[in-house]
Amino acid sequence: MTEFAQLRALVFDVFGTVVDWRTGVIREATRIGGPNHPDLDWAAFADAWRGRYNPSMELVRNGTLPWMTLDALHRQSLDELLIEFGATDLTPGQRDELVLAWHRLDPWPDVVAGLTRLRTKYVIGTLSNGGVGLLVDMAKRAALPWDLVLSADLVGHYKPDAETYRLPGRLLGVGPDQVMLVAAHLSDLLAARGQGLRTCFIPRPLEYGPAREPDSVDAATDIDVVQANFGDLATYLGC
């Protein structure tokens, strides 16, 4: 714990770490698309949509696409997916509404209480590839008590580009080692570590549902802290 005496801010990955995207997207997709397509496998649809998340951002990262928000990428991949899933009758209005599913996700049960404790001692913020508008909508709906909403939007780069991890320290006027990234994904944490941030892994075993193994760590993984949930992290950090 003394090793974290200089820690000033905790920034959080959002999709998967803070909120359960899969349950929320299945719920919204079933609500919006279900009446016309009662037999469509909306869980498979949610998984396929999430499957296009990284490839779509990669097109921005490598310069194939200009900067665009995650909402815009979600809309592009949705249009492609609806062809694949045979649901091309969804109207433009229904598609816009479906993109907003990603704004309406519920936090894991430990999140709100844990963040409320953590913010008594630290600046807490998002550090997400979701857009600022998305993150604000989500926070208001789910009562996430962020001090600061930080997004890939603010630097025009998606994680794991280095610019994203440098943002919190720069804006707060503190060193990168005074900022800790909290995430359920090793690729995110290791990229943050490469920019000098402290790192905390929180396993989210249900993130991908039954179909896919979530990330896990062992003693050899180069992560500062592993805690079971946000409440345990608050206890560990003395909040």
Q: Which residues bind a copy of itself (CB under 8 A)?
A: 69, 71, 119, 123, 131-133, 136, 139-140, 147-149, 151, 153-154, 171-174
Residue 9 bridge partners (DSSP)? 123, 179
Q: Please count the other Cβ atoms lying within 10 Å of the Cβ belonging to residue 63.
A: 8
Q: How far is the CB of 96 from a copy of itself (least distance, A)?
A: 11
Residue whose token pair is 């990428």: 73
Q: How big is the chain by its Cα radius of gyration, in Å?
A: 18
Query: Which is nearest to 25 in space by CA: 35, 39, 15, 38?
Result: 15
Give the residue with the Cβ less far from a copy of itself, 19 or 149: 149
Contact at 8 Å (CB) between 138 and 14?
A: yes
Which residue, 23 or 116, is less far from a copy of itself as judged by CB? 116
Return the closest-CA partner of residue 156 out of 169, 167, 140, 172: 167
Quick one: 136 or 190, whose CB is closer to a copy of itself?
136
* Contact criterion met (CB below 8 Å) for 149 and 171: no
Measured from the CB atom, the residue of 133 and 214 that comes closer to a copy of itself is 133
Whole-number minimum distance, CB 71 to a copy of itself, in Å? Answer: 7
CB of 165 to a copy of itself, least distance (A): 16
Q: How far is the CB of 163 from a copy of itself (least distance, A)?
A: 13
**Apex CA 181: angle with CA 178 and CA 183, to 5°?**
165
Give the shortest CB-35-to-a copy of itself separation in angstroms. Answer: 27
Query: Rounded to an integer, what distance in angstroms lies between the CA atom of residue 27 and that of residue 21?
Result: 10
Q: Which is nearer to a copy of itself, 106 or 137 (CB)?
A: 137
